[in-house]
Amino acid sequence: MTDVELRVEALSLSGVSAIPPEYVRPEEERADLGDALELARAASDDDATARIPVVDISAFDNDGDGRHACVEAVRAAAEEWGVMHIAGHGLPGDVLGRLRAAGEAFFALPIAEKEAYANDPAAGRLQGYGSKLAANASGKREWEDYLFHLVHPDHLTDHSLWPANPPEYVPVSRDFGGRVRTLASKLLAILSLGLGLPEETLERRLRGHELAGVDDDLLLQLKINYYPRCPRPDLAVGVEAHTDVSALSFILHNGVPGLQVHHAGSWVTARPEPGTIVVHVGDALEILTNGRYTSVLHRGLVSRDAVRLSWVVFCEPPPESVLLQPVPELLADGAGKPLFAPRTFKQHVQRKVFKKLKDQQDNNAAAASNGMITK
C-alpha cells in the first residue's frame, strides 16, 4: 500500500460509502457519536445544554476589580472544566486569518505534493505530514491527516520540515508561534494567582527556574489537524478521547465544529464563540497543581458534509531538564499529599505511550480468548 493510499484524505476522496473496519470505533463508544455539524446545531438550539465557559482575559492588564474577576473566572474554568473559550487574548484577527489561509492552502495541495513533508514515526521522525496509525487501546485508526512541527522557540525549529508552499507558511507560522508564547505566559500568570501563588510560579516551575543552571524556554508544538468528510460519522472519530500531555493547549479552527469535552459524566459539544480561542489544561499543569486544575478529556468528531481543520499549539516544558511534581506551596501546612510521583516530561510521555500499548495488548489478548482476531 502506498503512502497516498494511507492518507485519510485519499480514502474520503475515493467516494466510499462505508469506512474500512480499522476506522470503526468499538461498539461501546458509538452510542453518543454522530455528525459534528448536527450535534453542534442541537447543542446551540438547547439552552439547557452545558456550555464551555467563555472568559475575557483583557481585564487582567488593568488594576482593580476587573483583574480579580478575570483571575477568578479563569481559576473556576480550569478547576471545574479544564477548558475554556478565551476572549481578549490579544491575537489579532488578521494574524489568525493569515494562519488559517496558509494551513488551508497546504492541505489543498495534491496529496503527492504534501508527501514531500511526510514524517516517519516508526523511525522516530515525528515532525511532518502524516496520518494517525493505531497506537491506542482499541487498535483503531482515527479519521484525520495532520501536519506537526515545533513552532517556538524559533532557534530550535527546523524550517526544512515546514512547507515551502504556500510561501507565506513559514513567516505566518513563526509570527503566530511568538504571539502564542506571549499569551502562554499571561495565562500561566493568571492561573498562578488563581492558586494564591505569585504570578511567576507556574512558568518558573515549567521552565526549571528553581533548579541551578536551568533556564530553558517552553516548547510550542503546532499540529494542524485535517478531518476529511466521512460517510459514517456515527462510526468514526477524528481524534479519540484523550488528555493532552502539555501544560496548556491553544486551539482555533476553520469554523466547522467537532470538539467535544467530557464534563460531569457527559460529552459537551463546543459551540462557536466568535473571536475566541479554546484553551485546554494539560497533564503537565495538572501535575504541578496537584490536580487542582483538570487535564480535560476531549475528542474530535467528523462530518459527512464538511471538512474540518484545527490548529493546536501544545505548550510543553523542556523534555528532560525539568522535574514535574506538585508545587510545594500547595502541599504546605497539611494542605494535602502529592497525587503525582515526580517525573520529567519525557518520562510522562513515555509512561502514557506504554500504558496505551499495554491496554491494547490486554484488549487483544481478551479478544483472542473470545475467538476474535484484532489487528
For residue 215, what is its C-alpha cell?
533556564
CATH superfamily name and code, 23-372: B-lactam Antibiotic, Isopenicillin N Synthase; Chain (2.60.120.330)
Return d(Cα 195, Cα 72) in angstroms, integer: 10
CA-based torsion, 228, 315, 242, 43: positive or negative: negative
Q: Is 209 a catalytic residue?
A: no
Q: Alpha helices, DSSP H only, in the chain? A: 3-6, 8-13, 36-45, 65-80, 93-107, 111-114, 169-194, 201-207, 283-288, 345-369
Q: Is 45 a catalytic residue?
A: no
Q: pLDDT digits over 216-260, tens only?
A: 899 999 999 999 999 999 999 999 999 999 999 999 999 999 999
Which of these is catalytic: 89, 140, 149, 298? 298
Q: Is 242 a catalytic residue?
A: yes
pTM confidence score: 0.92
CA atoms within 13 A on the CB side of 365: 6
Mean pLDDT of the chain: 90
Which of these is catalytic: 186, 209, 242, 352? 242
Q: pLDDT digits over 76-117, tens only?
A: 999 999 999 999 999 999 999 999 999 999 999 999 999 999
Confidence of residue 374 (pLDDT cuts 50, 70, 90): very low
| pLDDT, mean of residues 303-317 | 98
Burial of 79 (0-12, 13-18, 19+ CB in 10 A): middle
Has residue 5 got a pLDDT over 80?
A: no
- Smallest CA-to-CA distance from 4 within 109, 81, 90 is with 109
Return d(Cα 359, Cα 238) in angstroms, integer: 20
Which of these is catalytic: 35, 56, 244, 283? 244
- Smallest CA-to-CA distance from 28 within 259, 294, 240 is with 240
Confidence of residue 4 (pLDDT cuts 50, 70, 90): low
- For the chain, what percent of residues have pLDDT higher than 70? 89
Could you state, in order of their start, the residue ranges of all structural domains in the chain? 23-372
The residue whose grid cell reads 508527501 is 115
Has residue 360 got a pLDDT over 60?
A: no
Q: Is 280 a catalytic residue?
A: no
CA-based torsion, 231, 233, 234, 237: positive or negative: positive
Q: pLDDT digits over 153-205, tens only?
A: 999 999 999 999 999 999 999 999 999 999 999 999 999 999 999 999 999 99
